[in-house]
Amino acid sequence: MGLDILTLVTFFPLLGIILLLFVPKTQVGSIRAIAIIIAFITLLLSFVMYSLFDPFANGMQFEINIPWITAFGINYHVGIDGISLLLIMLTTILSLIAIISSWSAITTGIKGYYISLLLLETGMIGVFVALDLFLFYVFWEAMLIPMYFLIGVWGGPRKIYAAIKFVLFTMFGSLLMLVALLYLYFMYHSYSGEYSFDLLKMYQMPIPMGAQTYLFMAFALAFAIKVPIWPFHTWLPDAHVEAPTAGSVILAGVLLKMGTYGFVRICLPLFPQATLEFVPLISILAIIGIIYGALVSMVQRDVKSLIAFSSVSHLGFVMLGMMALNVQGLEGSVIQMINHGISTGALFLLVGMIYERRHTRMIADFGGLSKSMPVFSTFFMIVALSSIGLPLTNGFVGEFLILLGTFKANTLYAVLASIGVILAACYMLWMLQRVIFGKITNVANENLHDLSGREKLVLIPLIILIFWIGIYPKPFFIRMEPAVKNILHLMQKSGKEKAQNFEELKFYMDGSKASEYTFKPDGE
Amino acid sequence: MELAIFYISAIVAAGGALMMILQRNPVASVLYLILSLVALAVLFVQLSALFVGSLLIIVYAGAILVLFLFVIMLLNLRGEKFTSEKPILDKGTKITLVVLFFMELVILIKQMAFPQRMDSLMTQASPDFGGVEPVATLLYTKYLYPFELTSILLLVAIVGAVIMAKRDKNEEEGER
Amino acid sequence: MNQTLFLIPLFPLIGFLLNGLFLGRLNKKLISLIACGSVGLSFIVGLKMFFQLISLPENTRAIEEILFTWIPSGEFVVSFGYLFDPLSAIMVLVVSGVGFLIHVYSVGYMHDDPGYGRYFTYLNLFIFAMLTLVLANNYLLMFVGWEGVGLCSYLLIGFWFEKKSASDAGKKAFIVNRIGDFGFILGLFIIFWNVRSLDYNEVFVRAPEVFALGGGLITAATLLLFLGATGKSAQIPLYVWLPDAMEGPTPVSALIHAATMVTAGVYMIARSNVLFMLAPSTMTVVAIVGIATALLAATIALAQNDIKRVLAYSTISQLGYMFTACGVAAFAAGIFHLMTHAFFKALLFLGSGSVIHALAGQQDMRYMGGLKRHMKTTYVTFFIATLAIAGIPGLSGFFSKDEILWKAFSSNQGSIWIWLVALFTALMTAFYMFRLVFLTFYGQERMDHHTKEHLHESPKMMTVPLSILAVLSIIGGYVGIPHILGGGNQFEKFLEPVMKGVHHGGEEHALASSGHSAGTELTLMFGSVALILVSIYLSYYLYVKNVALVGRLRNSVSGIHKIIYGKFFIDELYNAIIIRPLVGGSLFLWKIVDVVLIDGVLNGLAILIGDVSLGARKMQSGQLRRYATVFLAGVVIIIGYFALR
Amino acid sequence: MVPMPHYLILSALLFAIGAAGVILSRNLLIMFMSIEVMLNAANLAIITFSRFLNVMDGHVFVFLVMAIAAAEAAVGLAMIITIFRNRGTIDADKFNLMKW
């Protein structure tokens, strides 16, 4: 078997791009059809992957490790555990939905648009499967480009500002990450005498405290910008407001998860002591994000930026749960990543749908939509309620576990974060009230046609997922449990080992021995 | 004897180059350049690079510089006056810069340790050193890929040159 | 045989799904059939289970069904399971029984509403959530029902969403409830991390081992749970949403905001009696908050003119009573009162709904009066309910209220002060309820002519439930006749297996321990009844006999009246100290911190870099020779470095 | 036998003259020819080293340099023709389209 399932899922969208290149750009219909079919097959492939995945096995599955750039010890090393499995599923589902939802929303540059979306899909899946840090970085950066075009070409009035802001913020972080990555690379060489970017091998490497701190900061900054953790969040509202609907869905649904995923996959297991040191800082920033995001979204006038700020709040929960560093917190955090992708994605889709009808997103322009668009309002209500974490919807499971885990780690944090749950109800319900309740004050809202079959088709899978995760999340939990435990185990184990080897490491890292870590081109 | 040939050729080569840049008339410049190249070819032969030396005369002096001449004729630059109002940088400064550059190179050459060592090592070149056959053998074996790439480069250059020098259709019509 | 329990909440869920998914495609008959039928079936199954339950020996009276594992996360495992024990049996019967009657009533009441199908969809969802709440076998599932009923309450209060006041009220209810839920969930965290389980069985068994009696942890946990209860059951300080909740359709007020949902707090505390008994200081807080709420709400009820608002404050007050009962460790009495209250308060609301229906939506008592003649059934049933709530012997309210009063007086946690306030509140209750009756059904007909001509008794669909509830309001109390009156207090005995936290030793033992004699109990009972009768007469005198006196009285204490009429301006206070600063602060965060501070710094940086670049680009003159010269200069410098090194 | 530094210094001299031509001349054609001079200066150095190390690889390089010079001349001259056609001059100082 030459092709393995992971490679197939990752690169299948690229096949679509190649196909699209040969379609003349005037044949709009076939371009859309190809994009949808390709995304759909990718989704099916990911289902195959899901069914082949062994929920009880420990460690990485479908692992593939073949040399890529041998001169620098770079391998094409991919593999998934439960956490990445769920995120890949989220990616393939949301990508398909985003592509279908653009059916009528995008009218110019269609070919480039779908190529960007498919490229984005490959990039996103790539980040989740990569186990080689160099590969990870390549996918990480590759994702940036299509997103830049999506915002910058098909965006709203301030698209250029938003696109550049997005790229600059992310770039700034990822460059620091690159430096840290190279440092790790050379450190691994002097530790084992072998040049490698392999993440799994690096898990076994003891890293002295001082280096851990700096490396953690570099990685964490890159991820924090992506998440985004307060106060690095200001690119998010701009990007969301200007991006086209599908862009917002992908951005909120998956791109933000790259940051949190990075924390789980790289920061926690690689730099356990540094993580412990930074737990208070990140937790506090997360709590500020939770409350701040909620408060600020309460006073927004644009529905999209309201949702964008609510993302800041939700991602605060994700980070907080992660920083609890126990099973409940971490699992809640992972499930909340999925939840946020589903709920916020659906919210952006819904906003996109009324935007197509009314060409405005201002809350004040709406009101009474329940009357003219009952189906839309029902969907909107369900999604909004899942976003504020009503029991039996997905949001509750995540938030509850996060708070439960946090409560154990630090009671005060949990209490403060819980305030965010109250505020979430405030801003969401207030928005609902102003948008779908009340009398119809604007004549333009009177004769809106309700959701079309295609729009319902886009939303129904998300609604099903909302209730599925809310009522029967067990399949997800059993799949992520080994992965989560593995990460916690790595943290503890390497924590202990590092404590033992501390003296030896000091020897490595002392200023006098710094030359040990300098680059020797001939590999002596 | 060899030293004499060297000095004569060197003076002609350097002098030709110098005269080339000092000429106002491009045609004269080209002729001086040819002179300089011929002298250089002599030096090449003196260095046992027979094949390359002949190429220098045939290809360089024969083809490339003739191309230059054609272009100059085509453009008919006789009347052109190069008198911009303000010199961008003082001429003296520039010359100083060039002289400095030359002196640095010389220092560098003097500092190099290996030429002396190699002097002592140098033996009489084998009879066919620099001949067509050994160079060609190298070209078609060790350096096959670069050689083939060069041909592509030339092809691209030809296409590029043709495209660029071609007059636009509407431009032609406008001239008529 | 064992797998029937889940049917109880399943029927309303199916009803909800059918009505919800085919919304707008079913005719009214089918909708009502589905909605009422599903709740009726739940009631029947509940009844069957009830008989099954009492056929079991007393100590094993609990039927548990685990459906599936809900959230498994490390050692935290919560399953979807239902528990049917005496406490939940009573709640199930009350919820599905009263719920069924109200469904039937709604068929008549909501008949002409355009949102008919939507209404029953929500109502069925509510019944499902409420049954889940009371049947849950663990705290988290209870929380599911807890929030679910909150959601339905939100949807139903804001049922007429085109009215801003309605959607405002719904939102307020939800958010205030959320504040309570915040406490609830934190309480759960404390319980879980100490007991390592949220299942009732394990929690109640292990709690006494884990928590020290009166310790800080258990006190905090129970206080937080109680905070949840104050939100759901409208106690100080979170009661503000309930009066506003009257914006919803009247049957909703009857079902959700009187009979069932608001009593969830009482149920939860009774359910957690083991925990609460471990925290005496929390018990004191519960009792004090309960009695204070009862007093405050009764006071406000004295001066309201809106018929539903009076009932709403009355509900708050009665809930305060139930909490007082819980606070003095008389959990059974609290549940007893919960049940009787469900009967007569539902009846009162439905009766008022009937009145409002007849008066074409008029809710202000100043424009009612003399309805006795026009609406016989409504009047009679309403009067029975009023007698019951006032505590007239022979009706259900008497037994439960008296039980609470006596326990407040006699129990170890009780005191004479609580008893005094409770008695005073009872007097006020009698007074304002009869004021309501007199203003509505007696005296002159104060409505306008047009309405007067259309006065009519409500249809059978509405009066039959009223009659049934009236019967229940009369006989509902006979299941709990106290020892002193020759009964065996069957009700309390039935609940005993659930009340593990309370030390049982029979009535005699309790009497002996608190040192009160049977004589005292009888004296207090007759004394309070006499006082209540006096209070009713006072009401009669003021609102029927000598109407002019009221106006004069009101003028003489106009300041106090204004404060009471303005509900002590609690809403305004909350608005000023919480809501406005919150919105203002948020605007500050967005406009100043986000836009000016964070983005300002970043954009400033960008502008700075831009300016530097503007200067730097001047070097790009576009002149070939200059570039070449600079290039050469660079080469000179680099070679110079190597040459002169 | 001529010592090696002689050749190298001549190479350097030619190179410097070429550089001077580029930065001093305003005529695009002469600048161009100066570049040819510089290329040949390099060629000389290569041949020198080749001879003194007694390997012929250098000759191949010179060969390649010549090919490149030819390509460069073709394209460059085409550009000059186009420029002259459009602007009517080949004075390097008259062009600053790349400014800012």
Distance spanning both ends of chain D, measured CA to CA: 54
Residues 6+ apart with CB under 8 A from A106: A113, A154, A244, A246
The CATH number covering residue B17 comes to: 1.20.120.1200
Give chain D positions within 8 Å (CB) of B154.
67, 70-71
Asked whether residue B4 falls in the same domain as residue B68, the answer is yes
pLDDT at C506 over 70: no
Give chain B positions within 8 Å (CB) of C621.
88
Mean pLDDT, chain C, as a whole number?
84
Do B and A have ≥3 inter-chain CB pairs under 8 A?
no
For the stretch A80-116, pLDDT in tens is 988 999 999 999 999 999 999 888 888 888 888 999 9
Please tell me the pTM assigned to this model: 0.81
Contact yes or no for C623 and D22 at CB 8 A:
no
Any chains having at least 3 CB pairs less than 8 A from chain C are A, B, D
- From the list D93, D98, D100, the residue facing C625 with the nearest CB is D93
What is the model's pLDDT at position C454? 73
Contact yes or no for D31 and C622 at CB 8 A:
no
Percent of chain C with pLDDT over 70: 96
pLDDT at B39 over 90: yes
Could you tell me if residue A25 is inside a domain?
no
- Taking the C-alpha atoms of residue C512 and residue A451, their distance in angstroms, rounded to an integer, is 71
**Residue type at A479?**
R
**Residue type at A387?**
S
What is the model's pLDDT at position C512? 42
- From the list D19, D22, D93, the residue facing C623 with the nearest CB is D93
Closest residue in C to B99 (Cα–Cα): C636
**Residue type at C158?**
G
Percent of chain A with pLDDT over 90: 36
Cα of C99 vs its chain's centroid, Å: 15
- Interchain CB contacts (distance < 8 Å): C and D: 34
Give chain C positions within 8 Å (CB) of D20.
none
What is the model's pLDDT at position A523? 38
What is the model's pLDDT at position A340? 93
**CA distance, residue C171 to nearest chain A CA (Å):** 6
Using DSSP's 3-state secondary structure scheme, residue C73 falls into: strand
Any chains having at least 3 CB pairs less than 8 A from chain A are C
Give chain C positions within 8 Å (CB) of B107.
643-644
Contact yes or no for D23 and C628 at CB 8 A:
yes
Could you tell me if residue B74 is inside a domain?
yes
- From the list B80, B125, B161, the residue facing D89 with the nearest CB is B80
Contact yes or no for D98 and C629 at CB 8 A:
no
Highest mean pLDDT (candidates A492-496, B116-120, C615-619)? C615-619
Q: What is the CA radius of gyration of chain A?
A: 23
SS3 track for A138-191 = HHHHHHHHHHHHHHHHHCCCCHHHHHHHHHHHHHHHHHHHHHHHHHHHHHHHHH
What is the model's pLDDT at position C594? 77
Using DSSP's 3-state secondary structure scheme, residue C70 falls into: strand
For the stretch D66-81, pLDDT in tens is 999 999 888 999 988 8
Q: Which of A71-80, C25-34, C474-483 has the lowest mean pLDDT?
A: C474-483
- Taking the C-alpha atoms of residue D77 and residue B62, their distance in angstroms, rounded to an integer, is 16
When pLDDT is cut at 50, 70 and 90, the band that residue B84 belongs to is: low
pLDDT at A515 over 50: no
- Interchain CB contacts (distance < 8 Å): A and C: 131
Determine if residue D90 is left, alpha or beta; phi over 0 gives left, psi from -120 to 50 gives alpha, anything else beta: alpha
Any chains having at least 3 CB pairs less than 8 A from chain B are C, D
- Taking the C-alpha atoms of residue D76 and residue D73, their distance in angstroms, rounded to an integer, is 5
Neighbours of A43 (CB within 10 A): 21
Asked whether residue B18 falls in the same domain as residue B81, the answer is yes
Number of domains forming the structure of chain A = 1
Asked whether residue B1 falls in the same domain as residue B66, the answer is yes
Structure token digits, residue B53: 């030396």
Closest residue in D to C626 (Cα–Cα): D23
- Taking the C-alpha atoms of residue A34 and residue A39, their distance in angstroms, rounded to an integer, is 8
Tell me which of B96, B100, B102 to substitute to probe the interface with D (most D C-beta atoms closer than 10 Å). B102
Question: Could you tell me the maximum CA-CA distance found in chain D, to the nearest angstrom?
Answer: 54
Exposure of C605 by Cβ count < 10 A (0-12 exposed, 13-18 middle, 19+ buried)? Answer: exposed
Contact yes or no for C623 and D97 at CB 8 A:
no
For the stretch D9-29, pLDDT in tens is 999 999 999 999 998 888 888
Asked whether residue B107 falls in the same domain as residue B31, the answer is no
What is the model's pLDDT at position A2? 47
Domain residue limits at B97: 86-126
DSSP annotation of A517? G
pLDDT at A331 over 80: yes
- Taking the C-alpha atoms of residue B41 and residue A299, their distance in angstroms, rounded to an integer, is 82
- From the list D6, D16, D26, the residue facing B98 with the nearest CB is D16
Q: Once rounded to an integer, what is the mean pLDDT over residues A314-335?
A: 92
Could you tell me if residue A27 is inside a domain?
no
- From the list A298, A396, A437, the residue facing C158 with the nearest CB is A437
Give chain D positions within 8 Å (CB) of C628.
22-23
Structure token digits, residue C91: 């709640």
Q: Once rounded to an integer, what is the mean pLDDT over residues A407-434?
A: 89
**Residue C73 φ/ψ, nearest 5 degrees:** -140, 100
What is the model's pLDDT at position C505? 44
Contact yes or no for D23 and C625 at CB 8 A:
yes
- Taking the C-alpha atoms of residue B115 and residue B118, their distance in angstroms, rounded to an integer, is 5
Contact yes or no for C162 and A437 at CB 8 A:
yes
Q: Once rounded to an integer, what is the mean pLDDT over residues D18-43?
A: 90
Neighbours of C34 (CB within 10 A): 23
pLDDT at C515 over 70: no
Are C4 and C49 in contact by the 8 Å Cβ rule? The answer is yes
For the stretch A250-280, pLDDT in tens is 998 899 999 999 999 998 888 888 888 899 9
For the stretch C227-239, pLDDT in tens is 999 988 888 888 8
Tell me, yes or no, if A4 comes closer than 8 A to chain C by beta carbon. Answer: no
Per-position DSSP letters for A3-67, written without gaps between them: --HHHHHHHHHHHHHHHHHTS-TT-HHHHHHHHHHHHHHHHHHHHHHHHHS-TT--S-EEEEEEE
Tell me the CA distances in angstroms from A205 to A189, A277, A501, C169, one per residue in order: 10, 19, 11, 59
Using DSSP's 3-state secondary structure scheme, residue C81 falls into: strand
pLDDT at A510 over 70: no
Contact yes or no for C189 and A404 at CB 8 A:
yes
Structure token digits, residue B104: 């640095």
Give chain C positions within 8 Å (CB) of D100.
617-618, 620, 622
Contact yes or no for C639 and B94 at CB 8 A:
no
Number of domains forming the structure of chain B = 2
What is the model's pLDDT at position A498? 52
Higher-confidence position of A224 and B168: A224
What is the model's pLDDT at position C511? 44
pLDDT at A45 over 80: yes
Could you tell me if residue A477 is inside a domain?
yes
Q: Once rounded to an integer, what is the mean pLDDT over residues C521-525?
A: 81
Higher-confidence position of D47 and A446: D47
Are C196 and C289 in contact by the 8 Å Cβ rule? The answer is no
What is the model's pLDDT at position B144? 92
Asked whether residue B19 falls in the same domain as residue B66, the answer is yes
Q: What is the CA radius of gyration of chain D?
A: 17
Could you tell me if residue B173 is inside a domain?
no
Contact yes or no for C625 and D100 at CB 8 A:
no
Contact yes or no for C629 and D23 at CB 8 A:
yes
Among residues C395, C583, C524, the alpha carbon closest in space to that of C471 is found at C395
- From the list C72, C75, C590, the residue facing A477 with the nearest CB is C72
Could you tell me if residue B171 is inside a domain?
no
What is the model's pLDDT at position A514? 38
Higher-confidence position of C529 and A89: A89
- Taking the C-alpha atoms of residue A416 and residue C200, their distance in angstroms, rounded to an integer, is 27
Q: Which of A218-232, A377-391, C291-305, C472-486 has the lowest mean pLDDT?
A: C472-486
Q: Could you tell me which CATH number the domain at D4-87 has?
A: 1.10.287.3510
- From the list C618, C620, C625, the residue facing D92 with the nearest CB is C625
Contact yes or no for C636 and B101 at CB 8 A:
yes
Residues 299-338 of A with CB under 8 A from C: 299-300, 326-328, 331-332
For the stretch C88-142, pLDDT in tens is 888 999 999 999 999 998 888 888 888 888 889 999 999 999 999 999 999 999 9
Dihedral sign for Cα B140, B144, B149, B150, please. negative
Asked whether residue B7 falls in the same domain as residue B33, the answer is yes
Give chain B positions within 8 Å (CB) of D5.
109-110, 115
pLDDT at C545 over 80: no
When pLDDT is cut at 50, 70 and 90, the band that residue A314 belongs to is: very high
Among residues C45, C38, C37, C41, the alpha carbon closest in space to that of C5 is found at C45
- Interchain CB contacts (distance < 8 Å): B and C: 33
Could you tell me if residue B12 is inside a domain?
yes
Asked whether residue B7 falls in the same domain as residue B75, the answer is yes
Could you tell me if residue A15 is inside a domain?
no
pLDDT at C548 over 80: no
Structure token digits, residue B101: 């550059």
Domain residue limits at A333: 271-491
Asked whether residue B95 falls in the same domain as residue B79, the answer is no
- Taking the C-alpha atoms of residue C555 and residue C199, their distance in angstroms, rounded to an integer, is 57
What is the model's pLDDT at position C129? 92
Per-position DSSP letters for A49-96, written without gaps between them: HHHHS-TT--S-EEEEEEEEEGGGTEEEEEEE-HHHHHHHHHHHHHHH
Name residue, tokens 């006096």: C534
pLDDT at B82 over 70: no
Neighbours of A358 (CB within 10 A): 16
Q: Once rounded to an integer, what is the mean pLDDT over residues C388-415?
A: 84
What is the model's pLDDT at position B12? 94
Asked whether residue B59 falls in the same domain as residue B18, the answer is yes
- Taking the C-alpha atoms of residue A98 and residue A121, their distance in angstroms, rounded to an integer, is 11
- From the list B21, B46, B47, the residue facing D17 with the nearest CB is B21
pLDDT at A506 over 70: no
- Taking the C-alpha atoms of residue A300 and residue A312, their distance in angstroms, rounded to an integer, is 14
Give chain C positions within 8 Å (CB) of D93.
623-625
Among residues D27, D10, D9, D19, the alpha carbon closest in space to that of D83 is found at D27
Contact yes or no for C148 and A392 at CB 8 A:
yes
Give chain C positions within 8 Å (CB) of B110.
none
Using DSSP's 3-state secondary structure scheme, residue C82 falls into: strand
- Taking the C-alpha atoms of residue C20 and residue C13, their distance in angstroms, rounded to an integer, is 10
